[in-house]
Amino acid sequence: MSLYKNKYRIESNRRRFWDYSAPGSYFITVCVENREHILGWIENRKMILSDAGNIVSGYFVELTSYHKRITLDEWVIMPNHFHCIITLGDYGFDNGISVVGDCDAIDKFHEIYLRIQHPTETDIKQFRKLRRKMLIPKIMGKFKMQTSKQINMLRNTPGTKTWQHDYHDHIIRNESEYQRIKKYIRDNPLNWKDDKLYL
């Protein structure tokens, strides 16, 4: 946390000045608020989904309907967090599921991107506003909002915060990194007791 205008704020996990509408594969982790175990439990080293976990699963597979460029890769729901790889195809890519095309943020982003070697305070503020319209933040925001609403209806806890404030993302850079992350996600239930998100 850092102090900004006499208030503490949580630093963003986003990569500074990265275009989160850019083609690529993104490793994303979303944690339940207070790491509460509401999404299920591990039994015989396998994940058993709760009703809340089934809500998350159902909404995750619908992400491809959010935008034409979205494809889903490896993913796993754990008792108190969720890992996935989401790939954004090239700008002309069509997943054959969605009718939603490219967002209008792309051209505006490139105007700022040209100046980021020596960004001004205005550039930084413009970029932060623009980032909210980029594809990955938009789909994750919608996903968190919709799942939280349904989980609160299920648990009769209206207005309760289901997810932590932010999510963690990592831009996958090459094939070996992709394979390592894919294996990590697949093996998550097997390694539950050793997972740093367990506690």
Contacts of 150 (CB under 8 A, 6+ apart): 55, 59
Can you give the pLDDT of all 199 residues of the chain as single tens digits?
343 344 433 344 544 557 888 899 999 999 999 999 999 999 999 999 999 999 999 999 999 999 999 999 999 999 999 999 999 999 889 999 998 876 544 544 544 454 456 666 766 566 566 656 788 999 999 999 999 999 999 999 999 999 998 899 999 999 999 999 999 999 999 999 877 655 4
Please give the full DSSP string across 111-133, using - where no structure is assigned.
HHHTTTTS--HHHHHHHHHHHTT
Sheet with strand 168-171: strands edge to edge: 70-77, 81-88, 24-31, 168-171
Each domain of the chain, given as residue ranges in start order, spans: 13-101+136-189
The topology under which CATH files domain 13-101+136-189 is Alpha-Beta Plaits (3.30.70)
**What's the pTM?**
0.80
